[in-house]
Amino acid sequence: MTSSKPLIAIIDWKTSPPGDPESAVEKSVIGEAADVRRYLCESDADFTEEICEAAALIVWHNAPMRAPGLARLKHCRALIRNGVGFDSVDIAAARQCGIPVCNVPDYGTEEVADHAIALVLALCRQLFPLDAEAKSLGWHIKVDSKLRRLRELTLGIVGLGRIGTATALRAKALGFKVIFHDPYLPNGADKAVGIERVKTLDELLARCDVLSLHCPLNDETRHLIADRELSLMKPSAFIVNTARGAVIKKDAILAALREGRLAGAGLDVVEDEPLKTAEEAATPNLIVTCHAAFCSVESKIEMRATSARIALAAVRGEPLENIVNGPFTAAP
């Protein structure tokens, strides 16, 4: 059915849709200003002619948006990545097409920081091995050599943005000595939060007992942690990643765990997720969650409402929030 209203297309991931068929949250924000329709796509290769006519796109994670698909969008005033990360979108190609790309950088700060700390505690207190031992009707505490006193440990953070800062404050409250490395922060950020700044990543890796990653994924940070970097860490150290999977080279960290060069890892995200084989899943001392650190009932509503608000502004020709490939001086 043809409509005189502009179309806002929600691109949900066909493999594992995180949205809902009714798009109730988005429709409650957008109201009668536009037609809101949901489409299941693996990538922009699945775009229909109807999608290509949309005035705005709201895109869930894991559906890549690349130059060929972006070039097919005829009237798009904004592409909103429904989340913090936007590495699944070719933002340079979007800019060439005159399409502002926006994200939602602040919806899940608390949840991701909480999830990172939960993984840290699970590793330092060996919750999963102890749970398995108790449920096997044993009581031998076979992992006693890995159980650690938190206030004796140094937790190193890479990336002291919103989530990194929230994680640092939680870790401080638990008694960790917290250090961080972030070459893009101005001087004094360490004093504002009350933690120690480390000038190089190599020094951070050598000193920390727990490493928690909170940086975006880009050309600089892809495989930031690989074989060389893992070799700098203590064999007793733990790694937690709630950022982007490809910040850590998957083959390198799985090999380090299998060979005992790393005591454990808690990964909410993995390179080329999800895990692909039973062998990967059987890696010892590995906790994996389902790219779910951002998830809570409250955070998903906040995220979707923010994306819908940006899409509504786009179809109305109003200023856009959170443009990541700007500046754009006016709506296209």
pLDDT means per 10 residues, the chain with 332 residues, are 85 89 97 97 95 97 90 97 91 96 93 98 97 92 94 98 97 98 95 96 98 96 98 98 97 98 98 96 97 93 97 97 83 44
Choose among 296, 46, 322: nearest CA to 9. 46
Q: Please tell me whether residues 273 and 142 are part of one structural domain.
A: yes
- We report the CATH number of the domain holding residue 221 as 3.40.50.720
Domain that holds residue 36: 7-107+297-316
Tell me, what's the pLDDT at 332?
43
Given this model, what pLDDT does residue 290 score? 93
328 found inside a domain: no
pLDDT tens, position by position, 13-59: 888 888 899 999 999 999 999 999 999 999 999 999 999 999 999 99
Residue 162's CB is within 10 A of a number of other CB atoms, namely 17
pLDDT tens profile 273-323: 999 999 999 999 999 999 999 999 999 999 999 999 999 999 999 999 999
What are the Cα distances from residue 205, in Å, to 62, 155, 168, 331?
Answer: 30, 10, 16, 45
Nearest to 116 by CA among 178, 182, 59, 63: 178
Residues 47 and 177 reside in one and the same domain: no
Beta bridge partners of 197: 180
For position 85, what pLDDT does the model report? 87
Catalytic residues: 244, 273, 291
Please report the pLDDT score of residue 299 as a whole number: 94
| Within a domain: 205 | yes
Q: Which tokens go with 265?
A: 């890892």
- Give the chain's domain count: 2
Quick one: pLDDT at residue 179? 98
The answer on 103 and 85 residing in a single domain is yes
Peptide bond into 319 cis (omega under 30): no
Please give the Cα distance from 278 to 258 (Å, whole number). Answer: 14
Do 278 and 302 belong to one domain? Answer: no
Q: State the pLDDT at residue 195.
A: 98
pLDDT attached to residue 2: 60
d(CA 270, CA 249): 9
Nearest Cα residue to 226 out of 248, 241, 243: 248
Residue 172 lies in a domain: yes
What is the pLDDT, as a whole number, of residue 175? Answer: 98
Which pLDDT score, from 0 to 100, does residue 331 have?
45
- My answer on whether 89 and 133 are in the same domain is no
The answer as to whether 118 is a domain residue is yes
Pairing between β-strand 101-102 and β-strand 35-41 as defined by DSSP bridges: unpaired
What pLDDT is stored for residue 329 in this prediction? 58
Residue 330 lies in a domain: no
- Torsions phi, psi for 239 (to 5 deg): -125, 135
Domain assignment of residue 98, yes or no: yes
Where a domain ends, among 288, 307, 325? 288
Query: CA-CA distance, 80 to 107, in Å (whole number)?
Result: 14
